[in-house]
Amino acid sequence: MPLRVAIDGLAGVGRQIVVAASAGGFSDLFEIVQINEAAGAETVQRRLQRDSVYGRLPQTVELDGDTIRLGERSIQVMAPAPDGTVDWEKRGVDIVVVDGGHTDLADRVTAHREHGAKKVVVAGSPGPDGKTVLFGLNDGSYDPDVHHVVGTGSALLNAVALPASIIQTNFAIARGAYTVVHPLASGQAPMDSMGSGNLAGRSAWNLIPDLNDRSSVELGEIEPILGSKLFGSVVHAPVAATGWITLSAETERRFELSDAVAAFTDAAQSEQFNGLLGLTSESLVSGDVAGNAYSVTLATGEIAMIGRAFLSVRGWFDADWAIACRTADLLALVCEAGVPGTA
């Protein structure tokens, strides 16, 4: 019997998670039965039906009272209680999905667990008390009896971690650095505002801020040998959904450019990185990658070397759709492993 899943809020990546989970062939493992959204069912219907980046859903989204009908699926829309809580046990919900972009993420996760959610899946970093599952790197380490709060890691972390892991495996990184141009987040101010900190209140549509990046720290928690060898920075640019990375590394082993191209080609074709790592010989712009499910798509024509021990790669990622797909993958992993307390 499929496990019952609720989505806590449709803002941010929530809409894309509903679409990815509904289209991914997971109906034997889980079903989305509820969306927890204070804006109401009519707003949810409109938000699901049309998206400014991904366009209109091919199937009709119908509204019947507080129930959304998405194809053959029925999803109830409920507003949370005044304190933001829902009795998930009473609702018969096993797993709650939360967008990792919430500023009150830790409180939300705690509340969901205290109110009956057997598992909480975070679309993004789950915080210090959760388990980050990076597909292609450590997804085999998930333990259903231990890990009750799990997350996909950020889109940025996934985009950097995969090529870094491949370089490490094949050529041994001595030291490296990466730069990420990240799309704007929904909470960034379009005009100057009274946001906290030096940069949070500045106009994201008129400036390119250099923001702190914890990806190398998070990567070090998953792959300690990489965390101590990489340093990165990220800027947010006024584009929608898609981002760009460049990763450069000095290696301990000497090799030829053809060896590097072969290493990434073999990885993209492997079971380990199947559906996670894309390669392209085309020259792309950011909009070309919108709706791409890969965690990162590397440009083979831009794999470059200086000498025989310094490698640079570049690639693109869709920060919303890729994480929505990894969230659906993580839901499937959790359900396949079994959720304690369910039949």
Three-class SS state of 327: helix
Return the pLDDT at 9.
86
pLDDT in tens, 280-331: 999 898 889 999 999 999 999 999 999 999 999 999 999 999 999 999 999 9
Same domain, residue pair 117 and 198? no
Whether 22 and 170 map to the same domain: the answer is no
Q: What is the CATH number of the domain that holds 19?
A: 3.40.50.720
Within 8 A by CB and 6+ apart from 251, the residues are 167, 171, 172, 173, 174, 309, 310, 311
> What confidence tens digit (pLDDT) does each residue in 32-52 have?
999 998 889 999 999 999 998
Domain for residue 337, yes or no? Answer: no
Residue 151 has pLDDT above 70, yes or no: yes
Confidence of residue 215 (pLDDT cuts 50, 70, 90): low
Could you give the angle at which helices 321-337 and 155-171 cross, rounded to 10 degrees?
80
Q: Using the 8-state DSSP alphabet, how is residue 287 labeled?
A: G
Whether 253 is in a domain gets the answer yes
Most confident of 9-18, 49-58, 318-327: 318-327
Is the pTM of the predicted complex or chain greater than 0.85? yes
Residue 252, domain CATH: 3.30.360.10
Residue 89 lies in a domain: yes
Alpha carbon distance 270, 162 (integer Å): 13
Question: Do 277 and 214 lie in a common domain?
Answer: yes
Q: In sequence order, what are the residues at sequence separation of 6 or more whose Cβ sits closer than 8 angstroms to the Cβ of residue 169?
A: none
**Does any domain span residue 333?**
no
Strands (E), the chain: 3-8, 30-36, 50-51, 55-56, 61-64, 67-70, 73-78, 95-99, 119-123, 131-132, 149-151, 173-183, 210-211, 230-237, 242-251, 277-280, 296-299, 304-305, 310-318
Query: Looking at the domain assignment, is residue 145 inside a domain?
Result: no
How far, in Å, CA of 100 to CA of 123, rounded?
A: 5
168 and 298 co-located in one domain = yes
Q: How many CB atoms lie within 10 A of CB 183?
A: 22
Residue 338 in domain: no
Say yes or no: 119 and 159 in one domain: no
CA distances (Å), origin 78, targets 8, 10, 41, 69, 188: 10, 12, 8, 14, 27
Structural domains of the chain, count = 2
DSSP 52: T
pLDDT at 280: 95
pLDDT value for 10:
85
d(CA 18, CA 217): 30
Which of 7, 60, 8, 59 lies closest to 30 in space, CA to CA? Answer: 7
Q: What is the pLDDT of residue 164?
A: 95
Is residue 311 helix, strand or coil?
Answer: strand
Task: Average the pLDDT over 193-221 and give the result.
Answer: 64
Asked if residue 79 and residue 168 are part of one domain, the reply reads no
Local structure of 165: helix, strand or coil: helix
Residue 233 amino acid letter: S
Gap between the Cα atoms of 229 and 247, Å rounded: 12
Q: Looking at the domain assignment, is residue 96 inside a domain? A: yes
Closest CA to 188 of 198, 172, 176, 200: 200
pLDDT higher at 274 or 102: 274
Domain shared by 170 and 280, yes or no: yes
> Do 50 and 171 belong to one domain?
no
Residues 6+ apart with CB under 8 A from 227: 216, 217, 218, 219, 220, 221
Does 28 share its domain with 76? Answer: yes
Instruction: Please check whether residue 84 lies inside any domain of the structure.
Output: yes
- Residue 67 above 70 pLDDT? yes
Between CA 32 and CA 93 the distance in angstroms is 9
Confidence of residue 201 (pLDDT cuts 50, 70, 90): low
Q: Is the pLDDT of residue 128 over 90?
A: no
Cα-to-chain-centroid distance, residue 107: 20
Same domain, 95 and 196: no
Does 214 lie in the same domain as 162? yes
167 and 106 share one domain: no
Q: In terms of residue numbers, what domain contains 17?
A: 3-123
Give the torsion sign (CA, 30, 86, 18, 147). Answer: negative
Structure tokens given for 153 = 């890691």
